[in-house]
Copies of this chain bind each other. A is one copy, B any other.
Amino acid sequence: MMAQQVNSPLLKRPRADRGAEEEPDSSEGFTFSQEPTLDQIRAMQNQFARERDWDQFHSPRNLLLAMVGEVGEVAELFQWRGEVKEGLPDWSEKDKKHLSQELSDVLIYLVRLAEKCQVDLPAATVEKIKLNKQKYPAHQVYGSSKKYTEYATPEKNSS
């Protein structure tokens, strides 16, 4: 997939401009920083590898396994806690910091893997969300965990 400008209606009205009539987020206004963008992260990590001559190790499957390793580290942070609350109110600052680092590591390898596979990750994500909207029409699946489960985890052939 070649890189191209995304032109989605969703992107036209920046968050800050959204009208007051709109239902508030459950996450009460928590937002991310506007930068770095995914392409900036890609460029930063590309430069990081080049400066160390590590590009040679960044084959797609090496990067995939590295990402699996980082997902494992995220899992380790959640493994003995039972369900945890939004915003992690019961976590220590140290654990939150650690989590933010491990999530970053997943992102870094995901971005690098996409680059090496020449997948335009931001554009692909817009496509995928569009597809999901068609697959799960809001009026059909609204609020139903049963329908949610059915829709979201269709019976697949186990391999």
Contact = CB atoms under 8 A, between A and B. Distances in A.
Contacts of A127: 100-101, 104
Contacts of A136: 52
Q: Is the interface of A mostly helix, strand, loop or mixed?
A: helix
Oligomeric state, in copies: 4
Contact of A78 (B3, B60, B77): B60
A108 B128 CA distance: 9
Contact of A101 (B69, B103, B141, B158): B158
Size category, A interface = 35 or more
Interface in A70-129: 70-88, 96-108, 110, 113-129
A153 B3 contact: no
A3 to B, nearest CB: 5
26 contacts: A1-B100, A6-B35, A27-B116, A30-B115, A32-B42, A37-B38, A44-B126, A48-B129, A56-B143, A56-B145, A60-B86, A60-B88, A65-B76, A69-B76, A71-B71, A71-B72, A72-B76, A86-B117, A86-B118, A87-B116, A100-B121, A101-B158, A103-B110, A103-B117, A104-B128, A106-B106
